[in-house]
Amino acid sequence: MQLCPTVGAKAYNVAGVGWNLRLVKDDMKHGGNIPQRTAVNGETTIGQKKDGELSNQNEMLAVEFCGMKFATPQVLLSGCVGFGEEYTRVEGFSNRDVGAICLKGTTGTARLGNAPHRVIETPSGMINAIGLQNPGAPYVVNDILPALDFNETRFIANVSGSTIEEYIEVTRLFDDSPIDAIEINISCPNVKEGGVAFGNDPAMSARVVEACRAVTNKPLITKLSPNQTDIAYNAKRCIEAGTDAFAVINTLMGMAIDIEQRTPIIGNNQGGLSGPAIKPVALLKTHQVYQVCKGHNIPIIGQGGIMTAEDAIEFMIAGASAVGVGTALFYDPLVCPKINAGLVEYMARHGMSNISQLVGTLQLN
């Protein structure tokens, strides 16, 4: 089922936002039945009973990523699920439906973020400029991580900074924590270089990766920006600097204008565009980065506008080993089990035993 690409980003009607919000499955508009999670020999099987037998969906969906076993190829993206607990307040939602969760971008010290407005719905997407609001790495490590259930899924820290020294500081803190892997957000502005984003310059990108690599043995996932001239060359430099994987892509920069006031709607003037509008760009960038990665066995989390199983399949064919889901959660918090069901149905139709068989199978004209 192709979902309508509308976001509904007003804070008061976004499912999963309110502290006491409990949504009932019957209140949601579903494209089909949600597969039930069933405990089998101590493990969670994602599927439904058919003819008295449990589906083997868990085996079909399980993938390996940087030596970690993901229960499914889905990864919830940084900034869309807080610090891993927000959507667990929604009835029917489970962290066990995804392979990993990327926590909110974290800096060395607490940040209040940007002035409002921070989010605006746009045609087939949304623009956000939160400004890395977070409580700081020490609080995340000491107070938030201990409350997470690491038996449910993998948790990936998102490291952000304004200087290379800050990246090092935050990475070192997460290295001494139970976090499973570290994602480097290199789209942050470098305050020592006139505010140019680290991720838009291959040399600066490599310097950040190299600095983080020196202080951790945990898997490093570099989140690549589409707002640069040659994303494949940047990926090459980051591989040489020691990255273990990539997340492709981060948001595209965009703007929305209030025509009556003749001012930008976003308080920061510009922000990151996500959602279905950026999917064609994200697919191309994933394919381009895969051409560099495949010779080094470097996996990719493909992301940008994934709303359905069909979207996820496209990214895996283009070269992604896992797929990121973010904006889709704002209008359907229960989209993940639907994507899982769609992936299994596709594999069954094509005689496949595991979703990894799809990776990089694109045949160019």
Which active-site residues does the annotation give? 188
Say which residues have a Cβ less than 8 Å from residue 98's Cβ, sequence separation at least 6. Answer: 71, 72, 74, 75, 76, 153, 325, 336
Say which residues have a Cβ less than 8 Å from residue 101's Cβ, sequence separation at least 6. Answer: 75, 76, 81, 84, 95, 153, 154, 155, 156
Q: CA 81, 84, 89 angle in degrees (round to 5)?
A: 80
* Structure-token pair, residue 54: 């449990």
Say how many CA atoms lie within 13 Å of 136 toward its Cβ: 8
Residue 360 DSSP SS3: coil
Q: Are 309 and 295 in contact (CB under 8 A)?
A: no
The span from the CA of 324 to the CA of 75, in Å, is 5
